[in-house]
Structures are given as structure tokens and as C-alpha cells.
A and B are shown apart, each in its own frame.
Chain A
């Protein structure tokens, strides 16, 4: 309306004033919005008139012989988007014009191959769109394994927790479109509650260098962002269908984006996945199906000066847990480990029976930013998350349909950052965060709570800065403080309370004595400091050197503190410890990179020293009238992780490319000098591909993955077998042998309505149907891993 008025006025005045004397001068100055530096070579046109000029070295320009009235100027600059400005001429007039020079920050232009990273000096890698398309039907954890140094801790094939340079769980943050996921990441059988298809710009920051996202990312950060939306009037979308032979199902995902010239956009996306029982080479893995739904919607407006976004996502998964992995007591575990064969194999089915887990995650976010001239950018955000987890066990009688675990975790977070970028070469970001979280453990399960009811309060503040010294060196440094308070109400068995020695140390926490149980109210505060410093040195000839030091502290999670009791689905007693303190990691990492047309490599060694490292390992058995159960206890020790991630690519010709990756990590408990448990074995991945752009982007690639046998593991435990009436060694820690898998991928583009709008791919994983077990799969005691899977993917862009 206002614009229309201006045009109208300009039009009227234009006609009216033309009769007057026209000798006014417009003197203008074009400057950068951020730091007021003059911009040379900007083109200035007076719209509807045949007048044009360019700005000089000092950003100045002028037009002579103008009439009084209103003019509209169009300012364009090679690095900027054109801007229209209306100027009122009343005699000689001076006008300053600010234009946005840092175009990439608008996220409007996506340059192919552009790797704008989240951090300056950390080791960081991004998944390509081609890789994401291949893994659209898999889990996030599966896709991330394409990145060197990333492996996974699995419970079967559908529960995949990412492991970054040997660390997982609460040490790996997942940032879902700017929101830190609060989805009970503490459990070994809790996979991230995200749909890989919802946010397709996925990168991994190894280590705690990204302080902005949290100070406790001792493992690393997984950053999921939506793909940038182009600021034009457009409507586009894509739909992908994946069909799998193994599991006899597949998934479909579709997304639609409507964007406007004004910067408004709306994006909607949905996915559905259905798989039945999966298959190992020799047998069916009964009750390993999955049903997964994901929906997300983004709506917002992006402008240079300000913008906002609302985001909502919903995730729902019903995941079957291998029937044969449900064991009664230690004798069943001994039998399974010794027999190496599942004792229950049923016919193929899509039904998900007990044991299984059902998880739902709601995430809503509201975000607003505004830039201030000569100052920087302010960002404020509120987000809400609700995570519900049901774990169903095989129960009998009246309890058959009752969950054994029913937790509801609700989180509210308010955060704000200010980015100061008005000085050329220096960028400073400061921010604060407040979070409230409440966990409700439903007593209706009739099973004693493994994780108690608790309230948690977090407060964090950080400052990070990036400074360019000359053209080649960028320094970055940051510091962060986090406070967290956990206020739990938990029932302990009196016998457990005493066995742990809590009756001596924590007697004042007892609120109520119910005879055989005690209600206790632990309130623990943690003050954590994290800091980082690093540099990126741009060597000549496409080479780059990064060096980073990160200090990070992580407060114990509820599982590490409070776990207590029989985890029915795993047939193990898990014991946390109220005495557990924050762990502190000091990590030095470096990377030497070369990226040229012809070839490239990344060589990235690291050393991570963790004081008071929290770990969970088997340390004996406890006897009950129902038999004996292995006990897994949390304990703290000093740990050292040292490793190397190495990758090389070579473009042998314009059509043939090979990729090679190797990663190795060695974990040691330095206090008692034994190997750490659950450290991924060394692995190497090598692939060769042929692509021909003349044949509709035809591409074929063969990939080999070799996983070494983990030779370093803690000692096995000796347990008394009631059935055998003797002490026997339980091979609970012994890793399985090395294995080698081949996979083949063929893809091609086709034209349906528009050029190359349809792409089709055929992929076979575990091509030779090899029998293998992986050390980091918790079901390795019971069954072989997945056999061959042939999948077809069809992607249609419109």
C-alpha cells in the first residue's frame, strides 16, 4: 500500500514537476550494510528515466540536473542483489544507500560445491545430496556412517545411534533446524527421533568446537538444517520412493516448497516408512519390522533486515526388537552366546509384536531475527519439545498389553544470540539460553521406574569470535558457561540404597520411608565451563590446515545418575551412581586438507583426554529368585581416545573417480590401563565410480567396506551359572571377527516433463550375502547382521 502510494506520488510529481526548472543535484553514497565500507562499481539507475551511473572508489555517485520530486533508484552491485530506493529530491540532495554485500548470509544463493562450514577450525564434514538420496529410506545414523570417523551403536538394524570418533549418546548433540534435540538420547537403545528426510542439509562437527550449540558435545554435533530456499516466486517439490527387498517394504517421502519474492516461504514435508521382518543371510530376524512417520512444516519470511520462522515437526516410530534377543536370565544369555543361533525364528511378518518400542517426538520452534546497521544481528528463539517413549516387553496375564517403560519428557527452551559483524574481518557472537525440562515416568506400567521423575533447569551463556589475520589465517576462540540443576524424585529399594552406601552419604535426601522402598529427592547442581580456540590456515595450492583445541564439560545424564533396576528388554540390571560428577574433555584435533579438481585428501588426527569419563560396562551378576542377571554399572575413570580419520579422492578421468576412507580410534581407560568398552574397530571404505553426463548422468559405483576385528576390549566377566552349577566365563565383551561387505549402486536420470526431473537408482548392499556381526551392535550375541538388500529408488523433482 505504501509502495503504491509512493509510485503514485512519483508519477504525479513526475508529470507536474517536469515543467519546473530542473537543476538539482543528487549526491549519493553506496555503503555496505554491515560496516559502512564504501562500495565501488555499484550501478545506479534512475527507473523510468534513461539515467545511469556507477559509484566511484569512495562509493559516491551523482546525478545532475534533476527536478524536485520523488525518484526511484535501482542500485546493483556485482556481489549483491539489486535494491530499489526512493529518494525525495528537494534542491541539492544527499542520500546514503546501504546495500547488503555479504550475500551468502541471506541463504539465497546455493553455489554447487560450496561448503560453508558451521565452524572455522573444527573437523567438519557434510553429507552430499547424492548420498542423502541413497540413504533416504534408512536412518540418520546409517547415512552419517558415510562420513569418515562416524560409526554407529546399533540395537538391530533400525535403532542406530551415531558414534563420532568413538563417542555416542549424550556426548553427541543433534541440532534439528536450530533446536537441540531432547529425545532421551541417554539410552543405548534410544535412536535419534528425527526423520532423515525432513532437513536435508546435514553435517557433522567432530568434537566440541561448536560452542554455540552446547558446551557438552564431547563427541560432536550433528547439524540438520533445511536446504536454503530461493527468494523468488516459485513452487517446487520432490517425491522419493524407496523399495527394499530386505524387509519387503520401503518408504516414501515428499516435500513441497512455495516461496515468494517478498521472502515469504512455506515448506511442508512428510515421510512414511514400513518394513517387515529383516533377514540375515541364513535366517529371518523375527520381529524386526519398523513403522515410521515424519511430518514437518516450515513457514517464515526471510529478509535481509529481519525475518522469522515457525517450524513444527512430528516424528513417530514403532520399532520391533528382535524376538530372540529377549532373554529371561543369565543362563539364556550364556546359551545364546554359545549357540550363535537365534532360538526363535517365526515366519515373515509385517506385524510388530513384543518386545518393541514406540516413540513420538513433537518439536515446535519460533524464531525471529533482526539486523541493526553498523551493529549486527539479533536472534531470539523459543522452542518446545515433547518426547514420549513406550517400551513394551513380553509380559503375561493382565499386563500383556502394558508398557514396561513409559516416559514423557517435555522441554522448553528460550535462547537469544547477538552476532556482531560490523567490523571487517571480525565476527563475534554472544548468546544466552534458558531451558526447563520435566520428565514424567508413568507408574501405571506396574514396573519400578528405571528413570525417575525429574525437573531440570539449564542456563547457558557463550561468546565466540572469529578474526581474520590477513587473507590466509582465521582465528577463532570461544568460551561458554553452563549451569544445570536436576531435581529428581526417585524411589529406591532400601536394600539398593544401603548396598550403594547412599544411606551414609545421602541420608539427608530421604523424603519418605515406605518400608521396603525409600522416596528420595536428590537435587544436584553442575557448573560447567567449556572453551575452544583454533585457527584455519589457507595454504597455497588448494591446501588448508586447521588446528583446534576444545575443552568441554558434560553433566551426567539421568541414566548415568539414576538408572536402577532390571532393564527387562535387555535382561540386565543397570545401575547409575548418584556420586557421578561432570566429565571433562580436552581435545586437540588438526586437519590437513587438499581439495583440487584432480584429487584431494583430508588427514585428521586427534587426541581426546577425558577426565572422569562416564562409562557403562558389565561387572558381575546379581541373583534373584527368577535367576541371575548380568549387572551393568556406570563408573567414572580417566580415558584417552586417540585416532585418525583419513580420506582421499581422485578423479582419474572426468568420468572415473575413486574414494578412500580410513578411520581408527584407540580408547584406553588410563586409570587402570585397560581398553575402553564399545570403541569402534578400525574400518576402511573404498569405492570406485563411473559417471557419464552424456548418458543422462548415468553412474555406477562399487563400494567395499572392511571392518577390522576390535582387538582391544575389556576382560570378559565370570559368572555363576545356576543351570550348570558352576562359574563360567561369559564372552560378553569379546568382539566378533572382521568382515568385508560389498555394495553396488547404479543411477540414471530421465526426463518426464522437465529436463532430468526423474532419477532412478538401484542399490545392492551386502552384495555377497556375507554372514557377519558387528562389535557395536547390541544384538551381536544373538544373531547375524543384515543380509543382502536390493533397493530401488525413484526420485521425482517438480
Chain B
């Protein structure tokens, strides 16, 4: 004889469990073959083209192209030639997203949102200095166009960093500027 009344009838309980397992089965079966959608990262910059022109010297282009983003392939660097010594070049930067066809020009976007962007230039060796030739709406440097000066013949380097939403104005250093790095690329150059 049962000692107490059960709070819940075992058969009711068992059917609840059965229901639970049916649910379980149902869920495992409802898994259809729908494939997930691919994520195409937006506003990706794959390519940076830097054109350096000077009167009396050949035009030099520097390119960094990284078609697979954070994939295993390193950016492909292409430098068209050597820079002339003791020359001042006018520089212009073009940014592209080549994952799309035709390639999307990101330069215009940076120019439009100029208060949210800034290029930083670090030079060494025979590349002696870079100065900004353009400004954003607030009169702070932007860097889509710049002037690069070379010294005596030798080797040198130019590092170009693009920061998104840096502190503006800043003291010209990356540390002070903060923000997110969209591009950080250095070029080893020869000045002759």
C-alpha cells in the first residue's frame, strides 16, 4: 500500500519525459541542409598605391596588395624603381578594395570622412622627411597627399600607417593618436 499520495503521478511524469525526448528527436531532425551565408567583410582595404612624382625625376609607384586579408599570404609589395637623391617628391595615396569586381575605390571614402582618418609617416635613412600637403575640414593633417624628401644616396624606409578614428589633433605620434589601424605598411627604398 502506498504510504503517501504522490505529488505527481509517475505515468504523467513519464509521458512528460517522453515528450521531452520527442522534442529532442524533433530538433535533431529539423536540422535542414540550409547552408550558412558567407561573410564578406565590408570596407576592406586590400591595396594601397602610392605615387611619387617630381619634376626631373621618374615617377615612382609603391604598391602593397593583400588580397586575402588576415589569410596566410603576406601583402605583395611592388616598388617600381629607385628614388632620386636630394629630391622632393609629391606623393598621392590611392586605396582600393580589390575583393570586389570592379575594384572599389576607398580613397574617396577616406577623403569624405577626413576628420575620422589620418595617415602617419615614419621615415629612416635616405628618406629624410615627409610633410602633409592636405588637411581635413578642421585644419588637421590628413595625408592622402604629402611631400617626401630624399637625402643623399643610400637606403631608407618609409612606413605608412592609416588610423581610423584617431585623436585629432594629435602630436603626430601613433601612440598619441590611438584609433584603429587600417593600414600599417613599410617600404624599403633605395635612393640613388
Contacts and interface: CB of A to CB of B under 8 A. Distances in A.
A624 B184 CA distance: 8
Interface string B27-63: 1100100011111011101111000000000000000
A249 to B, nearest CB: 28
The residue among A86, A624, A723 with the most chain B CB atoms within 10 A of its own CB is A624
A130 B69 CA distance: 53
Contacts of A455: 31
Interface string A480-493: 00000000010101
Contact of A514 (B10, B38, B159): B38
Contacts of B23: 412
A396 B181 contact: no
A301 B10 CA distance: 12
B41 A382 contact: no
Contacts of A499: 71-73
A380 interface: yes
A84 interface: yes
10 contacts: A85-B3, A263-B7, A306-B10, A328-B180, A328-B184, A396-B116, A436-B24, A493-B69, A626-B184, A723-B159
Interface in B1-21: 1-8, 10, 13-14, 16-17, 20-21
A434 interface: yes
A343 B37 CA distance: 39
Given A262-B4, A262-B7, A625-B45, A573 B70 contact: yes
B13 A368 contact: yes
B87 interface: no
B1 A86 contact: yes
B21 A264 contact: no
Contact of B7 (A301, A493, A624): A301
Contacts of B6: 301, 303, 306
B24 to A, nearest CB: 5
A751 interface: no
Nearest to B157: A725
B35 A519 contact: yes
B17 A397 contact: no
Contact of A624 (B1, B70, B179, B180): B70
A566 B37 contact: no
Interface in A281-304: 301, 303
Interface stretch (A54-62, A442-450, A576-584): A442-450
Interface string A320-336: 00000000110100010
Q: How large is the interface on B (under 10, 10 to 19, 20 to 34, 35 or more residues)?
A: 35 or more
A418 to B, nearest CB: 15
B70 A566 contact: yes
Given A303-B6, A306-B6, 6 more contacts: A263-B7, A436-B24, A436-B28, A457-B28, A626-B181, A723-B186
B64 interface: yes
Given A2-B5, A382-B24, A445-B39, A343 B175 contact: yes
A552 B147 CA distance: 66
B159 to A, nearest CB: 7
Given A328-B180, A331-B184, A622 B4 contact: no
Contact of B36 (A2, A303, A344, A489): A489
Contact of A412 (B24, B43, B75, B157): B24
A260 to B, nearest CB: 9
Interface string A338-361: 000001100000000000000000
A566 B47 CA distance: 19
B73 A627 contact: no
A624 B75 contact: yes
A165 to B, nearest CB: 35
A541 to B, nearest CB: 43
B72 A382 contact: no
B8 A443 contact: no
A456 to B, nearest CB: 10
A625 B66 contact: yes
B14 to A, nearest CB: 8
A441 B184 contact: no
B41 A328 contact: no
* 3 tightest Cβ-Cβ pairs between the two chains A and B: A627-B184, A623-B74, A499-B72
A352 B46 CA distance: 33
Contacts of B2: 2
Given A328-B180, A328-B181, A366-B20, A436 B27 contact: yes
Interface string B120-145: 00101000000000000000000000
Contact of B184 (A329, A344, A494): A329
Given A455-B31, A722-B184, A496 B68 contact: yes
Contacts of A328: 180-181, 184
A394 B180 contact: yes
A598 interface: no
A395 B43 CA distance: 12
B35 A512 contact: yes
Given A86-B1, A412-B24, A625 B38 contact: no
A75 to B, nearest CB: 12
Contacts of B21: 382, 414
B71 A412 contact: no
A76 interface: no
Interface in A425-449: 434, 436, 438, 441, 443, 445-449
A443 B36 contact: yes
The residue among B37, B159, B180, B182 with the most chain A CB atoms within 10 A of its own CB is B180
A382 B24 CA distance: 9
A301 B75 contact: no
